[in-house]
Amino acid sequence: MVHRLYHFDIKTLANYGDTILFEMVREIFNTFQGRKTFYVAGSSNLRDTVDRRLVDKINESYDAVVIGGGGLFLADTNPNDRSGWQWDCSMELLDRIEKPLIVFAVGNNRFPGQPEFGDRFREHVNRVVEKSIFFGLRNMGSVRTIREYLRPDLREKVVWQPCPTTLISKLCPDLYEAALEPAKRLSIQTYLSKRHTDAGFDRDSIYDGLVRALTTIQGRGWRVESFANARGDRAFSAHARAKGLELPVTAHFDKRHIFNPLRAFAKLPLAVGMRGHAQMIPFGLGVPIVSLFNHDKLRYFLEDIGAPELLVDVREPGFEDALVDRAEHVFANFASIRAHFAAKQEEMFALTMRNLAAISKALGGDGAGAGVKPYSVFERKLAQSLWLATYDKEQQAAAQQAAASRGDVIGRELQNVDAPAAKE
């Protein structure tokens, strides 16, 4: 029996991590157990407000609901008082969903210095866990911190489910560079937002330190580049240019060929990053990484893969020396790091297969079997075409809704204009 799944996701070209991660979630479900177990048959943006019509559609036509992955536990992205996190589903409609929930590879994305989640979140997440046949978070740090919001009887339902982007070489084996050689070449992604500066990260000082570190690295014979998973990532290259350091930039956002950036990642001897998916995507392709701390999720991931030494804390004095040392360490230990990453990926893949088998069993399947049957190159093109068609439809609907809202505002304003007095 193939279980029909409805997927609450985010289709965007603005941040490449979000572009590819939800597609990898669909692929790992669709390809599990020789493609005989799951089929993601429908999807919609999890940030859109869930309405009664959608709930009725799910109850009538699907076997289960997948939510995730991504750093969805965050209160100020898509703020709402219905759930307290990014999935905009009221308690009333949550209770009306008759099909079991599958929370898959979601992360606690609360930034340093941000307040704790409120009472609405606590109420909502407890109800989601109650209704879930599987509640898997993308790192053990998220498992620990989200359990704190749950009733004691629910805490053990929260388990580790790595993001499928960490398994890309299993899902897209033709993109994996088995013969990747060590080379003194790195690409760096950096981004410090207002959230970070509010938490005490000194952006200009940190960027200055990175420029000094990269200049030193260049002086040691390295080729240094930059990559941007989102528009804001380009700010550092502009800062570096103003300080006299030119960095070629490869932009991965706003690309309609959504799988192509994976080819660029796969060829990197070293990826240095400040975003979660700037470390998870390279790891998933067997590429050595160094992570620049600006969020706990970076540290959580390195702890999960047994490589905490690859973290550089940009808040620490002299962090630029640490970055130079880590780069040289990767070059000197390239083969052993690749082997370590491959072994950890095998462990994470095996865990994912056990989790998917448990989900299948909970839905009435036999829970047997493992492995995936990856898409062919042609099937990936079909998946991309479907992704783009859905994305374009969602963008058009959002534009129409925005236009209608502007029309409502204009209409209300016209109604408030004093009408001329009637003639006697």
- pLDDT score recorded for residue 424: 31
pTM: 0.94
174-339 folds as Rossmann fold (3.40.50)
pLDDT digits (tens, 9 = 90+) for 133-159: 999 999 999 999 999 999 999 999 999
CA distance 75 to 115: 9
**Residue 282, CB half-sphere, CA atoms under 13 Å: how many?**
30
Mean pLDDT of the chain: 95
Structure tokens at 186: 């790195």
421 pLDDT exceeds 90? Answer: no
How large is the C-alpha radius of gyration of the chain?
Answer: 23
User: E strand or H helix at 304, and its extent?
Assistant: helix 296-304
Averaged over 70-74, what is the pLDDT?
Answer: 98
Domain boundaries of the chain, sorted by first residue: 3-170+344-401, 174-339
Residues 6+ apart with CB under 8 A from 281: 16, 17, 20, 165, 168, 262, 265
Q: Are strands 289-293 and 311-313 parallel, antiparallel or unpaired?
A: parallel
User: E strand or H helix at 225, and its extent?
Assistant: strand 223-228
- pLDDT score recorded for residue 416: 61
Topology alike, domains 3-170+344-401 and 174-339: yes
Rounded (10°) angle between helices 140-147 and 296-304: 120
Closest to 292 (Cα-Cα) out of 190, 164, 217: 190
Q: Which residues of 94-126 are buried (b: 16+ CB within 10 A; e: fewer)?
A: beebebbbbbbbbbbbbbeeeeebeebbbebbe
User: E strand or H helix at 148, and its extent?
Assistant: none
CA distance 71 to 281: 15
Confidence category of residue 283, pLDDT binned at 50, 70, 90: very high
216 pLDDT exceeds 60? Answer: yes
Q: So what's the architecture of 3-170+344-401 in CATH?
A: 3-Layer(aba) Sandwich (3.40)
